[in-house]
Amino acid sequence: MAHDHSANKPKRILSGVKPTGKAHIGNYLGAMRNHVNMQQDHENFIFIADLHSLTTVKNKAELQELIIDLALDYLALGLNPERAVFFRQSDIPEHAELTWVLSCLTPMPMLELAHAYKDAVAKANREINVGLFTYPILMAVDILIYKPDIVPVGKDQKQHVEIARDLAGKFNRIYGDVFKLPVPYIPEEVAVVIGTDGQKMSKSYGNTIEIFASDKALKKQVMGIVTDSTPVEAPKDPDTIYKLYSYFATEDEKKTLLERYQAGGMGYGDAKKLLLEKIIETFKPFREERERLRNDLAYVKDVLKKGAEKAREVAAATKNEVWEKTGLSI
Ligand code: ADP
Ligand code: TRP
């Protein structure tokens, strides 16, 4: 349902992605593509979560490049600054300010149970900083400050949206209604996109297929998909290659690959070639657009600046309400 018919007003969506590395098929299908597609019949707020990147990225030039890269990615994929408010989190000081207020309502155990934090502790190959621990509070503010109806994200972010809802409810109960309780939007077929090793595709697992990589790099990634040792002649079950192919192929193309798998005689090498062609064909126009935009960084920076101005109006209004309710405005 795209519209709130009672008010006949488009629903507001909000989402963001951290600039922490090269965008991959999981990010694209699980998040970015939905953000772009939803802009037609929703009111969109899409942002670059650069404050979140500081939990892991500690190099100035690297962070700057990651931010610009992500802006280029979104614009190349079709994000339209006329339809979406596209901005950088760090341009809006209210995010950090409200994070303090919500921190004072957040019980420690709520954060201790968060998956992202537990995973970080379990891996613990690096220092665990307080930012990583309080990350869900900043994310809750990212969402709540814009009062969206819907937050489209991959499944791994569901818990964070639930924390945002809990904190919104708690604030409203204690101080009076300010925040809207948003719902996550997680399309089932792309909730968890698998990577080249068969587990969830993620930058941190090194199992990604990058959407803007060169043909050569893409070939390396696709050829690196882990397969079993079923011989060429033998029938095959639908596997990682088939699943990835399914995201981009038509029903007929999927059926053909499945039949060739079942008949035997189709090697995984051939299936990988088919997948590679499909990926190159799908992303070619986006890659070309990205190259074009790369030569016009002044435009990209201007888009973010104008987006920040619009976002700030909304964020500042919510902050005023919070200051009003809590007693910080006298
Ligand atoms: P990564 O795990 O590679 O670091 P991020 O955490 O930056 O990815 O995720 C950015 C967005 O992409 C989030 O909304 C996340 O839910 C979505 N996403 C990431 N990986 C996948 C995946 N494998 N399947 C579906 N969605 C994903
Ligand atoms: N935590 C999200 C991720 O890892 C990024 C993010 C930050 C976000 N704030 C958000 C997503 C608010 C949706 C809404 O991808």
Q: What is the pLDDT of residues 186-221, one digit of tens each?
A: 999 999 999 999 999 999 899 999 999 999 999 999
Taking the CA of residue 18 as reference, the ligand 1 atom at the shortest distance is: 7
49 lines ligand 1 (CB under 6 A): no
Q: Identify whether residues 176 and 262 lie together within a single domain.
A: no
Confidence band (pLDDT; 50, 70, 90) for 121? confident
Q: What is the pLDDT of residue 1?
A: 46
Tens digits of residue pLDDT in 41-80: 999 999 999 999 999 999 999 999 999 999 999 999 999 9
Residue 198 lies in a domain: no
Q: Identify whether residues 57 and 13 lie together within a single domain.
A: yes
Q: What is the pLDDT of residue 128?
A: 87
Q: Whose CA is nearest to atom 3 of ligand 2?
A: 17
CATH number for the domain harbouring residue 121? 3.40.50.620
Is the confidence at residue 107, as pLDDT, over 90? yes
204 lines ligand 1 (CB under 6 A): yes
Residue 66 lies in a domain: yes
Q: Which domain holds residue 275?
A: 213-290
Q: Identify whether residues 10 and 142 lie together within a single domain.
A: yes
Q: Identify whether residues 27 and 157 lie together within a single domain.
A: yes
Residue 206 lies in a domain: no
Q: Identify whether residues 72 and 31 lie together within a single domain.
A: yes
Query: Ligand nearest 70 Cα, by number?
Result: 1
Taking the centre of ligand 1 as the mean of its atom positions, its distance from the CA of residue 139, in whole angstroms, is 15
CA-closest candidate to residue 34, choices 19, 17, 21: 17
Residue 109 near residue 133 (C-beta atoms within 8 A): no
Tens digits of residue pLDDT in 173-190: 999 999 999 999 999 999
CATH number for the domain harbouring residue 275? 1.10.240.10
Taking the centre of ligand 2 as the mean of its atom positions, its distance from the CA of residue 203, in whole angstroms, is 15
55 lines ligand 2 (CB under 6 A): no
Dihedral sign for Cα atoms in the order 151, 156, 158, 163: negative
34 lines ligand 1 (CB under 6 A): no
Distances (CA, A) of 146 to 42, 89, 189: 14, 12, 28
Mean residue pLDDT of the chain comes to: 95
Q: Identify whether residues 316 and 275 lie together within a single domain.
A: no
Round to whole Å and give the CA distance between 48 and 328: 29
17 lines ligand 1 (CB under 6 A): yes
Out of 12, 13, 14, 17, give the residue to mutate to test ligand 2, the one with the largest number of ligand atoms within 8 Å of its CB: 17
Q: Which residues contact 13 (CB under 8 A, 6 or more apart)?
A: 35, 38, 42, 43, 44, 45, 148, 149, 150, 151, 152, 185
Residue 200 lies in a domain: no
Taking the centre of ligand 2 as the mean of its atom positions, its distance from the CA of residue 15, in whole angstroms, is 6
Q: What is the pLDDT of residue 116?
A: 82
Q: Whose CA is nearest to atom 6 of ligand 2?
A: 16
Backbone angles phi, psi at 184, to 5 degrees: -75, 150
Count of structural domains within the chain: 2
Round to whole Å and give the CA distance between 240 and 76: 27
Q: Identify whether residues 108 and 161 lie together within a single domain.
A: yes
Is the confidence at residue 224, as pLDDT, over 60? yes
